[in-house]
Amino acid sequence: MFENLSERLSGVFDRLTKQGALSEEDVQTALREVRVALLEADVSLPVARDFVARVQERATGQAVTRSITPGQQVVKIVHDALIDTLRGEGDPGALKIDNPPAPILMVGLQGSGKTTTTAKLAKRLKDREGKRVLMASLDTNRPAAMEQLAILGKQIGVDTLPIVKGEDPVAIARRAKTQAALGGYDVYMLDTAGRLHIDAELIAQAAAVRDVAKPRETLLVVDGLTGQDAVNVATEFDDKIGVTGVVLTRMDGDGRGGAALSMRAVTGRPIRFVGLGEKMDALETFDPERIAGRILG
């Protein structure tokens, strides 16, 4: 991911380093190129502007023009500014799951990787934190999706709520809650229905489930390859449902990393995890340091 941005920035800084000392004009030129690179990487315009302004402020403050290795110094300033924008508060991997059974609501569009991520996260909670997890699929429109969660559950050794035909999502959420309490589970995860696009029904259903379950965490799963669309999806879900964090999937692909930057800047919601493949272990805590390092190459 971030190849475009990374290549662009290395190109810019390479040229700067070769020139030796930097003039104010050089800094301006570099920052213009940084902005273009951000836009090309699918960062939204206001976010790119804001980011460049922050870099400019820092560059000026640190008298880059007089430094011996100005290129490196600018790289560091851009790196630090990227981290500032990407980082949320606290440990992104620390979910609020005290007070069992803690509900986690999983929302997102169909095909974003929601069901896969639900299972990956359940496995992580079981393996790393020794939690007893119950998963429930609320995707009553797609029996195959419900089956898929049950299959993944068996594969990773995590229980799923038995499927009852004809039950609506709110009723399933209630049953999951009861079952989680009676069964002594620490966490229950609700994998809500997804659609190809956000529509009123999807939002209404997710909101109804949210009101019943009162989730401790509402995680939005978005396809990291969908660029600016991912930001729009995040904005919409956050406005209508309220999310406590984002999981970016398919970050193993050559995604346009700009989406991560603008999603964070626009919604203010932290990115908690990234999906790095189809396997059940391919989920990692979001690491702004590593992402910034990859952006800069």
For ligand GDP, the binding residues (CB under 6 A) are 108, 110-116, 194, 249-250, 252, 275-278, 282
Residue 193 assigned to a binding site: yes
**Which residue number has the CB closest to ligand GDP?**
275
282 near 254, Cβ under 8 Å? no
- Closest approach, Cβ 200 to ligand GDP, in A, equals 20
Closest CA to 171 of 153, 190, 143: 190
b/e burial code for range 60-86 (CB count within 10 A of at least 16 → b): eeeebbeeeebbebbbebbbebbbebb
- Closest approach, Cβ 233 to ligand GDP, in A, equals 12
Angle (deg, nearest 10), helices 45-61 and 70-86: 130
71 or 258: whose CB is closer to ligand GDP?
A: 258
- Closest approach, Cβ 111 to ligand GDP, in A, equals 5
44 or 148: whose CB is closer to ligand GDP?
A: 148
Q: What contacts 264, CB < 8 A, 6 or more positions away?
A: 85, 86, 88, 270, 271
Give bridge partners of residue 191 from the DSSP assignment.
Answer: 106, 137
Residue 186 assigned to a binding site: no
Residue 115 assigned to a binding site: yes
- Closest approach, Cβ 186 to ligand GDP, in A, equals 23
Q: How far is CA 140 from CA 164, 170, 172, in A?
A: 10, 10, 9
Residue 192 assigned to a binding site: yes
- Closest approach, Cβ 255 to ligand GDP, in A, equals 10
Residue 114 assigned to a binding site: yes
Token pair for 224: 């990291």
C-alpha count within 13 angstroms, C-beta hemisphere, residue 68:
0
Angle value at C-alpha 242, between 241 and 245, nearest 5 degrees: 125
Residue 8 assigned to a binding site: no
Residue 226 assigned to a binding site: no
12 or 248: whose CB is closer to ligand GDP?
A: 248
Residue 58 assigned to a binding site: no
Cis-peptide, bond into residue 46, ω within 30° of zero: no
153 or 194: whose CB is closer to ligand GDP?
A: 194
78 or 283: whose CB is closer to ligand GDP?
A: 283
52 or 209: whose CB is closer to ligand GDP?
A: 209
- Closest approach, Cβ 118 to ligand GDP, in A, equals 8
Give bridge partners of residue 102 from the DSSP assignment.
Answer: 187
- Closest approach, Cβ 98 to ligand GDP, in A, equals 27
129 or 284: whose CB is closer to ligand GDP?
A: 284
Residue 251 assigned to a binding site: yes
Q: Which parts are annotated binding residues?
A: 108-115, 191-195, 249-252
Which amino acids are annotated as binding site for GTP, given as ranges? Answer: 108-115, 191-195, 249-252
